[in-house]
Amino acid sequence: MNRRMYALGRLEPGRMNQTEAEYSGAMETRQRAGEIAWHLFAGVKLRLADNTFYSPYFVVMRSDGRMEMREVKGFWTDDARVKVKVAADFNWRKRVNTEWMNAITVIADIARGAALAGCTTNGLMRREHVIRCFVRKAERESLERLAEKHGMTINTVSAHAKKVSHWLLGKACGQRRGRAKGAPFH
């Protein structure tokens, strides 16, 4: 395995340090309580100027639909302070598309009766399965992480993800030789 060397105190991109992991845990608690809709670690890169980018540690969607960029730092460099100030002064008046959020909710509710009929399911988990189908593969939260976050087994999460994905793509789960399992012969 080719392991890259990083400066002292730096982790591979996408990996949390202890402080970030603790903050993520606090965000998960707030998410379960309904205070926030979701949070994402290192998921956004903002272009501030030519060849100048700022990547906040956390992006948080509040339950009222507003998005926040949150920073978790143990040590501030001058470069980081300037980028945060520039980003804070920028006019970010765009709100999250509520129609998109409403569509995801409707699809997740329909999935309960169609793709997951007969399954005991968690509403937040259903939403995350639907969202996973609409985001790039590299940005998807892993099934293992979802299982841990919602206190479910990986087998259940994986089975539900497959059912929702196949339902959205118009495939039948358990499809064999071109016909859906249980479909009548023609």
**pLDDT tens, position by position, 81-140:** 888 888 777 655 555 567 777 777 788 888 877 777 777 777 777 888 888 887 777 777
Between 27 and 91, the higher pLDDT residue = 27
Task: Express as a percent the part of the chain with pLDDT over 70.
Answer: 80
d(CA 20, CA 58): 9
Residue 174 confidence (pLDDT): 52
Q: Which residues pair with 40 in a beta bridge?
A: 59
The span from the CA of 71 to the CA of 118, in Å, is 42
User: In the chain, pLDDT over 90 holds for what percent of residues?
Assistant: 4
Q: Indicate if the pLDDT at residue 18 is higher than 60.
A: yes
